[in-house]
Amino acid sequence: MTITEPRPTSGATTISVTPQSPTIGAEIGGVDLAEDLSDQTIADIRQALLDWKVLFFRDQDITTEQHLAFGRRFGELEVHPFAPPHPEYAEVLRITHGEGAPGLENGWHSDVTWRVEPSLGSILRMLEGPAVGGDTLFADMYEAYEGLPDYVKEKVEGQTARHDFTRFKIGMRKQGAMEEEIAAVEERFPNPHHPVIRTHPETGRKAIYVNSAFTREIDDMNPDESEELLQILYRQASYPEYQVRLRWQPDTIAFWDNRSVQHYAVSDYYPQTRVVERVTVIGDTPYFDPDQAPTGLPPRPFRGQIERDRRGVDWRRQR
């Protein structure tokens, strides 16, 4: 086993884990996702997901059926209500971009936070990609939270925010949907109010759980203060120290934990074609429990401006 983990794991493992940054992202080896994997291997992959938040599998020449089978080992799969239906499998979301359909997902977000029970994780398979470009970035929202100044933490911990699928409603209107139809969809998917800082149900760690794609405002707060705080929280994903970047190759698969990361699909390949398929594992209702936070975490490896920002130090005012 080749592994450098943030904390020791117990027992033998059936996979290799090669970290891609100090806190987020690992490449997984020693596994063929086309096979019927043992319960131990699935448990090892799940533990690696909890430790590293996003996993990369290379050289995985699998079928759509095998993609689905792998996803189902981690839970029930969702059917996306706003995507064009897959010709064979309702749980598969196919995303195609190219000439006439440029990429739109180049904003930091966590998948389907507009659901009452948002995603546990997403598993994305590259079918066709540009020769260069079309990378995906992932941001560690544990470290993004830890890097907040204390005064911001005090203001947002315990607060909730409203999430909405506004961007999809815009698309429905462009396609000619009547307001009655949109109202019916809104009734099916009422706006949830999720904690601004959520507790990860398996690790107990705190993570920022608002994103610019789906979060509308912090509840019961002055609109100006809400917007100011949301912008601070959104910006945390932009620190390169909290990120890992995946350069896609043929037969690459990424599996990320939507409870602890946000992602950004780089749109720099137009008019080349990029086709991916995603299956999404249904999660549970987010909550915040400060007493569940673990102790004895490794020290943060970040220094320089990112640490000054955490401490609220403005270097421009120092002599």
* Structure confidence by residue, pLDDT tens digits, 142-188: 999 999 999 999 999 999 999 998 777 777 787 787 888 888 888 88
Asked if pLDDT for residue 7 goes beyond 70, the answer is no
Per the residue annotation, which of 44, 51, 67, 111 is the catalytic one?
111
> Which of 21-25, 97-101, 274-278 has the least mean pLDDT?
97-101
Helix axes 179-188 and 166-174, enclosed angle (nearest 10):
150
Please answer whether residues 15 and 45 qualify as being in contact, where contact means their C-beta atoms are separated by less than 8 angstroms: yes
Residue 35: C-alpha distances to residues 2, 41, 124, 174 (Å):
22, 11, 18, 43
And the tokens for 265? Answer: 């699909």
Give backbone dihedrals phi and psi of 41, rounded to 5 degrees, phi first: -65, -40
Residue among 4, 25, 9, 3 at smallest CA distance from 252: 25
Asked if pLDDT for residue 24 goes beyond 60, the answer is yes
- Angstrom distance (rounded) from CA 305 to CA 196: 25
Q: Higher confidence at residue 89 or residue 12?
A: 89
Residue 8 lies in a domain: no
DSSP label at 109? Answer: B
Residue 9 lies in a domain: no
Asked if pLDDT for residue 234 goes beyond 90, the answer is yes
Residue 114 lies in a domain: yes
Whole-number pLDDT of residue 124: 98
**pLDDT-based confidence at residue 317 (cuts at 50, 70, 90):** low
Residue 241 lies in a domain: yes
**pLDDT-based confidence at residue 306 (cuts at 50, 70, 90):** very high
And the tokens for 169? Answer: 């409603």
CATH number of the domain where residue 236 is located: 3.60.130.10
Q: How many CB atoms lie within 10 A of CB 239?
A: 17
**pLDDT-based confidence at residue 314 (cuts at 50, 70, 90):** low
Residue 208 lies in a domain: yes
Domain extent for 84: 16-311
The question of whether 111 is a catalytic residue gets the answer yes
Asked if pLDDT for residue 78 goes beyond 50, the answer is yes
Please answer whether residues 24 and 261 qualify as being in contact, where contact means their C-beta atoms are separated by less than 8 angstroms: yes
Residue 23: C-alpha distances to residues 168, 266, 283 (Å):
33, 21, 23
Give backbone dihedrals phi and psi of 25, rounded to 5 degrees, phi first: 95, 125
Percent of the chain with pLDDT over 70: 94
The question of whether 80 is a catalytic residue gets the answer no
Asked if pLDDT for residue 310 goes beyond 60, the answer is yes
Per the residue annotation, which of 109, 200, 205, 274 is the catalytic one?
109
The question of whether 278 is a catalytic residue gets the answer yes
Residue 4 lies in a domain: no
**pLDDT-based confidence at residue 4 (cuts at 50, 70, 90):** very low
Q: How many domains does the chain have?
A: 1
Residue 243 lies in a domain: yes
Please answer whether residues 122 and 276 qualify as being in contact, where contact means their C-beta atoms are separated by less than 8 angstroms: no
Residue 28 lies in a domain: yes
Does the pTM surpass 0.85? The reply is yes
Average pLDDT of the chain to the nearest whole number: 92
Per the residue annotation, which of 67, 263, 274, 309 is the catalytic one?
263
Per the residue annotation, which of 163, 198, 259, 278 is the catalytic one?
278
- Angstrom distance (rounded) from CA 278 to CA 255: 10
Query: Residues 224-230: what's their mean pLDDT?
Result: 98
Whole-number pLDDT of residue 2: 37
